[in-house]
A and B are shown apart, each in its own frame.
Chain A
């Protein structure tokens, strides 16, 4: 999080980092218009390629590489907007649960706002609405630069309203933006089943107490589906001895010490 926003002098000088690091995309929803950003936003880059009617192979390659290695782990551990939502949920307030089906909205956001509308209209419509952009770029630039302040119109206030909506929702529900609207999460979630890093579950010791769901930042049951596309791979649930972070090369993650690993599949070995 700090590494992708390491250009702190951007806030002091009112300039944007323009070095070669911006050749690369960060696997986080981290706005490249943020004065401190040193890497590019993958969603902004994809929209740009849609606008110029080209395929962003390079950006897809970076996201596929990260997804293939760690799945959605960057969402769970490095994303600044995700961390903010986690923090806001800790506030004492009325708590609600987000319906499971809401997850499909983020795929709609990806297809409609990131691919289709920019392709047909030539406008970056996800960026126009992105609450992370408002927080990391919109508010700092409006505060710092009188020229930008003079250009503020109704669209800016729509963005601020969306940011406030997600901020207030975050105090009540776990990670509402990540679960309902994040297009980057939608892309990375496609790799959860195929990632090098996996979650393993031990059916022999699990008591189905449901504590893993209460710990989980996105309210899933890791004991029911270990490669759930919702899973952020934060491994908070691995505090439970029945759940464990493993790699795809672990055949029997819960085998007692001294037992040789075989091709026997966990759970089917009995």
Chain B
């Protein structure tokens, strides 16, 4: 029998809360800096690199 065991869920729950806080923080900073506008301006132009001619 191998030594595999389920990791304690309490540890994963803690990791999940940390990841959720990180995500909220990054999103908050991004929205505050209006990065979605930069994302839009980049995405509405045809990406020549993606097509293979840029």
Residue numbers of A with Cβ under 8 A of B are 16-18, 20, 22-25, 31-33, 40-41, 44-45, 48-49, 52, 54, 56-62, 64-65, 67-68, 123-125, 127-128, 130, 133-134, 137-138, 141-142, 148, 151-153, 155-160, 191, 193-196, 198, 200-201, 203, 208, 223-227, 248-251, 263, 265-268
- Report the minimal beta-carbon distance from B36 to chain A, rounded to whole angstroms: 4
- Chain A hits for B49, CB < 8 A: 123-125, 127-128, 133
- Chain A hits for B47, CB < 8 A: 31-33, 44, 124, 127, 133, 137
Query: Is the CB–CB distance between B28 and A61 below 8 Å?
Result: yes
Task: Specify the chain B residue showing the minimal Cβ separation from A34.
Answer: B50
Interface band, chain B: 35 or more
Known: A56-B35, A223-B4, A226-B6. A137 touches B51 (CB 8 A): yes
Q: How far is the CA of A61 from the CA of B28 in the complex (A)?
A: 8
- Chain A hits for B54, CB < 8 A: 124, 128, 155
Known: A33-B50, A33-B51, A57-B30. A20 touches B40 (CB 8 A): yes
Q: How far is the CA of A196 from the CA of B39 in the complex (A)?
A: 27
Q: How far is the CA of A249 from the CA of B13 in the complex (A)?
A: 7
- Chain B hits for A124, CB < 8 A: 47, 49-50, 54
Task: Specify the chain B residue showing the minimal Cβ separation from A248.
Answer: B13
Known: A32-B47, A227-B7. A194 touches B12 (CB 8 A): yes
- Chain B hits for A191, CB < 8 A: 19
Task: Specify the chain B residue showing the minimal Cβ separation from A64.
Answer: B23
Query: Is the CB–CB distance between A23 and B40 below 8 Å?
Result: yes
- Chain B hits for A133, CB < 8 A: 47, 49-52
Q: How far is the CA of A148 from the CA of B52 in the complex (A)?
A: 10
Task: Specify the chain B residue showing the minimal Cβ separation from A141.
Answer: B51
Task: Specify the chain A residue showing the minimal Cβ separation from B31.
Answer: A58
Kindly identify, within residues 2 to 54 of chain B, every residue whose CB is under 8 Å from any CB belonging to chain A.
Answer: 2, 4-10, 12-13, 15-16, 18-20, 22-31, 33, 35-40, 42-47, 49-54
- Chain A hits for B33, CB < 8 A: 57-58
A sample of 27 inter-chain contacts (CB < 8 A) reads A16-B46, A17-B44, A22-B40, A24-B39, A40-B43, A48-B38, A56-B35, A58-B26, A58-B31, A61-B23, A64-B19, A65-B20, A68-B23, A124-B47, A124-B54, A127-B47, A133-B50, A138-B52, A152-B53, A155-B53, A156-B53, A159-B52, A191-B19, A195-B16, A203-B6, A225-B4, A251-B9
Q: How far is the CA of A152 from the CA of B52 in the complex (A)?
A: 7
Q: How far is the CA of A32 from the CA of B36 in the complex (A)?
A: 15
- Chain A hits for B28, CB < 8 A: 61
